[in-house]
Structure 1
Amino acid sequence: MSPSGTQVELRHGDYSAVVTEVGATLRELRHGDRPLVAGFGADEIRPNFRGAVLAPWPNRIADGVYTFDGQERQLPLTEPTRGNALHGLVAWVRWDVLEQDAAAATFGHSLVPFTGYPHPLDLRVRYALDDAGLHWTVTATNTGSGPAPYGTGPHPYLVAGAGRVDDWSLELPAAEYLAVTPDRLLPVDVEKVESAGFDFRSPRVLGDLFIDHAFTSLATDADGVARVLVRAAGGGGVECSWVAAECPWVQIHTADRPGEPGDRIGLAVEPMTCPPDAFNSGTDLVVLAPGQTHQTTWTIAAL
């Protein structure tokens, strides 16, 4: 069996995708012969969190410690070099394929409560292709008897075309970003994007700029949709869009891994319902009441 489990292939028109059983991971997304995300082979262990679903929190929790409903909890330190609990609890578990047709599939996972996160959740991830691209929906229902802290986000590395991150331009409609500590990437304060050279409200080439930050204060179109566009020098590109009220934050990462094959091969664009360490700050944290359901969707499309 593949390290990433069962491979579910989807197709609609010029779009095709492959989603894996492990992590309900988006392993491939193509428009014709052109990759829209940095993928990996069916026989590979997924590199890092490439294409994973992040729940019940995205990004980092400092020291893996948080207090909720009057109780302090300790999570596993899944980013041990920085001392953080990273990207939730379901990126490395097997999901069940609940529904599937030619262009769409739904995966499900029942999150088992434990001392660090004593909240059972019913999680669903649906991938659906149509003429507008790939729609990636995450749904969570609190099946427990008490309130549950919750956040989510995806982890695709967008590929604009030929070349690498340095060669592409970014259009990011964010007026503010979250400054972080350089060693652990934990929140310090929200600042204007101009202060760090992170103003991409007008598209410009990324060059050798390093980014691994959460952005907010997102401008939207008339329908409330925020759009991040990454374009190749020779034309074409890829867009990630979502309703900003559902995900008021987006993590951008230039995939800096010096000396590794995946160094700056794709730009991580991760819409998030909350910022890093939201289990501690409470900023935009979703609190699910017993029986309550939360749902949000992102779309990835070729330009």
Structure 2
Amino acid sequence: MARTPLSGTQHSLRAGDYEAIIASVGASLRSLTFDGRDLVVPFDADEVRPSYRGATLAPWPNRVVDGLYTFGGVERKVALSEPARHHALHGLAGWLDYQATDKGPSHVTLAATIEPQTGYPWRVTIETTFSLDADGVTQSVRATNESPDAAPWGTGPHPYLVAGDGHVDDWTLELPAGAVLAVTADRLIPTELRGVDADDAERFDFREPRRIEKVELDHAYTDIVRDTAGFAAVRVTDATGSGVEMVWDAACPWVQIHTSDKGVGKPGHRTGLAVEPMTCAPDAFNAAKYDFDPGLIVLEPGASTEASWRIGAIV
């Protein structure tokens, strides 16, 4: 019997000039190409997924500060998966092995269950579908609370987009967001919501497309301009004008942008731009702490919620 690769069962999808490979561990977008060109930073099938590259994040994206939160009047603590900053990072589903429930040449549906556990005593089932068509790969995530009590919930993806040759410094970013969540420099703890033009150096303002250059970002944005159907889009292009875009629906009022600053000389350093649409802000499980709405979803018993996003080529 063939050994299962370290990233799990591989699901290859094709449609037109697009090819995608989904790894079952973490329901991860392992690779996505258009006419042979990478649109995301890939990783090998027989490789432990580097960090959260391409993973589906749930039941929270980003961080729970110190792993502590209060929900329904009860204080809870989840394991610290980011010990260097003393936070619980990107939820509990990133290393679950999802099982295929439906599959065709251009789509796959995967399912997994977050079982009740210390710090998150709710059972939530996750069903996610990846589908390829002429516009790229679309992922939808549907969560259902199978518990007798309401559960806190959030989700989002973690792809690193690739515009073309070169690195993040060489690419142009268009991000139509009017507000950014300020964070502490050392631990990235949210402090306040600011206008993107509040910084004198215009570090955060990409409402008009401009080169990223040496800007370093690991920040959540909101107040995002959307089209008449409620969709938002981020576009990353190279010097030729080709590149990649990510589009998401109204279920995600936030997007995290990370310039992949790993340290000069370290693998993955500024090789892709993380664009992470999110249903809620960082540390949304501590919503009562903040003077803005972080978008925490309260999932009632038996209720479901859904969000979706798409990655496609700009040619």
Q: Structure 1 length as normaliser, TM-score? A: 0.98
Equivalent residue for 1:252?
A: 257
- In structure 2, distance between residues paired with 1:184 and 1:139: 31
Output the CA distance in 1 between the equivalents of 2:45 and 2:258.
24
Distance in 2 separating the partners of 1:226 and 1:256: 25
The structural deviation recorded for 1:195 is 2.2
Deviation at 1:43, TM superposition (A): 1.6
Match of 2:144 in 1: 141
Q: Give 1:101-180 correspondences, 5 Å limit.
A: 101-180=104-183
1:70-113 residue CA offsets vs partner (Å, 9 max, x unmatched) = 11111000000000000000101211111110000001001110
> Which segments of structure 1 move beyond 4 Å, counting only runs of 4 or more?
none
Alignment of 1:91-106 (within 5 A): 91-106=94-109
Q: Distance in 1 between matches of 2:146 and 2:220?
A: 30
Is residue 235 from structure 1 mapped to residue 241 from structure 2 by the alignment?
yes
Indicate the residue corresponding to 1:199 in structure 2: 205
Q: Is 2:81 the counterpart of 1:70?
A: no
Cα RMSD of the aligned pairs, angstroms, is 0.8
Q: CA deviation at 1:290?
A: 0.5
Q: Is 1:55 aligned to residue 61 of structure 2?
A: no
Determine the C-alpha separation between the residues in 1 that align with 2:91 and 2:127.
15
Unaligned runs of 5+ in 2: 289-293
2:284 counterpart (275, 278, 282): 278
TM-score, with structure 2 as normaliser: 0.95
Matched residue, 1:221: 227
CA distance in 1, matches of 2:183, 2:279: 18
**Stretches of structure 1 lacking an aligned partner (at least 5 in a row):** none
Deviation at 1:115, TM superposition (A): 2.1
Q: What is the CA-CA distance between 1:149 and the residue it aligns to?
A: 0.3
**What is the rounded CA distance, in whole Å, between the counterparts of 1:72 and 1:42 in structure 2?**
39
Say whether 1:297 aligns with 2:300.
no
| Secondary structure in structure 1 of the residue aligned to 2:285 | helix
Q: Distance in 2 between matches of 1:112 and 1:86?
A: 18
What is the letter of the counterpart of residue 284 of structure 1?
G
> Which of 262, 268, 272 in structure 1 is aligned with 2:268?
262
2: CA distance between counterparts of 1:227 and 1:63?
A: 32
Q: How far, CA to CA, are the matches of 1:261 and 1:145 in structure 2?
A: 44
